[in-house]
Amino acid sequence: MHIKIGTRGSKLALWQAYYVEDLLQKGGVETEIVIIETKGDQILDRSLSKIGSKGVFTQELEDQLISGGIDIAVHSAKDLQSQLDEAFEIIAFTEREKANDVLVSHDTSLSLKSGESFVVGTSSTRRVAVLKHFYPHIKTIDMRGNLQTRLRKLEEGQCDALLLAYAGVHRMEYDDKIAEHLLLDEFTPAVGQGSVAIECAVTLPDDKKSTIKNLLNHGLTEICLLTERAFLKRLQGGCSIPVFGMATLHDDQISIAGGIISLDGSELIRRTQRGSNAFPAELGTALADELLEAGADRILQDIKSKNQEI
Ligand SMILES: NCc1[nH]cc(CCC(=O)O)c1CC(=O)O
């Protein structure tokens, strides 16, 4: 069998594509990597939250899935919108890396907890809002671009530290620049953070689908991600909305913590629920409903109207 693997061209995206390629080859599959540039890779001058981010990193990959230019598209699970077009499906989630955020700096003695003020570069609305909520003495500056670009800006002194997903930092082998591992209770990650999602067209032949699923899918990660993605779908949060959620497994139970925070960090709603691992989507949806009842709806509307003003 021969599988064409579609990926974006950033170093992190390529790492993930090679990781997937390796797993497929170990299972006796022949592979080929096809690099595809997306709109999101070209737009570097404006914050993603301001261009309406739906599909900017996925559209061109999905076009190739339909035309047969590629068999699968490899994404960071957290970059994949919660509601795929009906022509596509996710056939596998790879085993999740540690999901937490980390503070990255040349000065590894830096700590959010120290009370000392310094400048953190991040383009994530979630991370900015959570910093404002728990660590108001920290200043933030908007910082876009791939990991290498951000690290270069850090090196140039545009900020003192970056706030990033551990998974990406680890994959790029920048572990020695990690100053602090942030608490999951405060910096609850974006839905899907740390896992790689494999997308295909629903029309991909069944023998290819089953081989790919067998070689790439990590069942325990899949249960967690299905819970989180149902949660996100119900809240209709895209990556420009500071919604966060993370599920973990405890024997046959799933526990999920999730919430939403206003852009200025003043209002934070976070809840947890537990349920059977047989019904991940139901649990994720139930948690979203609990949040909506607790006022998440108002925060969401407020953020959506602010995004439209820009
Ligand atoms: N939004 C960019 C993005 N997409 C996936 C990762 C890291 C890898 C992962 O979470 O799987 C990152 C960088 C970051 O948020 O620091």
Residues 223 and 213 in one domain: no
Residue 79 among the catalytic residues: yes
Q: Locate the ligand 1 atom nearest the alpha carbon of residue 101 and give its number.
A: 16
pLDDT digits (tens, 9 = 90+) for 103-129: 999 999 999 999 999 999 999 999 999
| Ligand 1 center–CA 264 separation, angstroms | 22
Mutate to test the pocket of ligand 1, among 51, 76, 122 (most ligand atoms within 8 A of CB): 76
pLDDT digits (tens, 9 = 90+) for 189-211: 999 999 999 999 999 999 999 99
Any domain includes 189: no
3-class state of residue 81 by DSSP: coil
Residues 245 and 114 in one domain: no
Question: Which CATH number characterizes residue 173's domain?
Answer: 3.40.190.10
Confidence at 39, pLDDT banded by 50, 70, 90 = confident
Q: How many domains does the chain have?
A: 3
Residues 46 and 160 in one domain: no
Residues 162 and 109 in one domain: yes
| Mean pLDDT, the chain, whole residue set | 93
Higher pLDDT, 203 or 37: 203
> In the prediction, which pLDDT does 20 show?
98
Q: For residue 75, give its domain range.
A: 1-94+195-217
Rg (CA), the chain: 19
> In the prediction, which pLDDT does 53 show?
56
Separation between Cα atoms, residue 284 and residue 205, nearest integer Å: 30
Any domain includes 187: no
Among 181, 207, 236, where does a domain finish?
Answer: 181
Separation between Cα atoms, residue 28 and residue 7, nearest integer Å: 21
| Ligand 1 center–CA 166 separation, angstroms | 8
DSSP 8-state symbol, 205: -
Residues 223 and 212 in one domain: no
Whether the CB of 78 sits within 6 Å of ligand 1:
yes
Residues 229 and 268 in one domain: yes
DSSP string, 116-141: ---EEE---HHHHHHHHHH-TT-EEE
Confidence at 265, pLDDT banded by 50, 70, 90 = very high
Query: Is residue 245 within 8 Å of residue 258, measured between CB atoms?
Result: yes
Higher pLDDT, 196 or 44: 196
Given 71, 79, 101, 160, the catalytic residue: 79
**Token reading at 39:** 């709109």
Query: Is residue 57 within 8 Å of residue 81, measured between CB atoms?
Result: no
> In the prediction, which pLDDT does 241 show?
85
Closest C-alpha residue for ligand 1 atom 6 = 168
Confidence at 26, pLDDT banded by 50, 70, 90 = very high
> In the prediction, which pLDDT does 309 show?
65
Whether the CB of 76 sits within 6 Å of ligand 1:
yes
* Interface predicted TM-score (ipTM): 0.96
Residues 127 and 276 in one domain: no
**Above 80 in pLDDT, residue 51?**
no
